[in-house]
Amino acid sequence: MRLTFATLSAAILVMTAVGLEVQKARRPPPPPPREMPRPVAVVPAAPPAEVARASDETPDAMPDGKGRDETFYLCTACHGTAIIRQQGMPRERWDETFAWMIEKHRMPDPGATDRALIVDYLAAAFPSRQQRGRANPFLNR
Partner 1 sequence: MPKAERGLNELYRDDPERAEALVFGRRGLLTGASLAAVGAAVGASIPFAPRMPAGLVPAALAQAAPAGGPPAKALSLPGKANLVVLQDRPLVCETPEHWLDDEVTPTDKFFIRNNGGVPDVPADPKAWKIRVDGEVNTPLDLTVGELEQRFQPVTLKLQLECGGNGRAGFQPEARGNQWGNGAIGCAEYTGVRLKDVLAAAGLKSSAVYTAHVGADPHLSGTAGQLTISRGVRLAKAMDEHTLVALRMNGAPLPHIHGGPVRLLVPGWPGSASHKWLTRIWVRDKEHDGPGMTGTAYRVTRKPMIPGGKVDDANMMILESMPVRSIITSVAHGAELAPGTRKLPVRGQAWAGDLAVSEVNVSVDYGATWKKAQLNAPANKYAWQRWSAEVDLPSDGYYEIWAKATDANGRSQPHVVGNWNPQGYGGNAFHRVAVLVKA
Residues 13-32 that bind partner 1 (CB under 8 A): 13-32
Query: Do the Cβ atoms of 126 and 71 come closer than 8 Å?
Result: no
Exactly one of 59, 69, 89, 115 binds partner 1 (CB under 8 A); which one? Answer: 89
Q: How far is the CB of 113 from partner 1 (least distance, A)?
A: 23
Between residue 93 and residue 112, which ones bind partner 1 under the rule CB under 8 A?
Answer: 93, 96-97, 100, 103-104, 106
CB 114 within 8 Å of CB 120: no
> To 10 degrees, the CA torsion angle through 117, 122, 128, 132?
170
Cβ atoms of 66 and 113 within 8 Å: the answer is: no
CB of 117 to partner 1, least distance (A): 21
- Residue type (1 letter), 108: P
| Min CB(43)–partner 1 separation in Å | 7
- 139 touching partner 1, by CB under 8 A: no
Closest approach of partner 1 to the CB of residue 115, in Å: 17
Is residue 64 near partner 1 by the rule CB under 8 A? Answer: no
| End-to-end CA separation in angstroms for the chain | 52
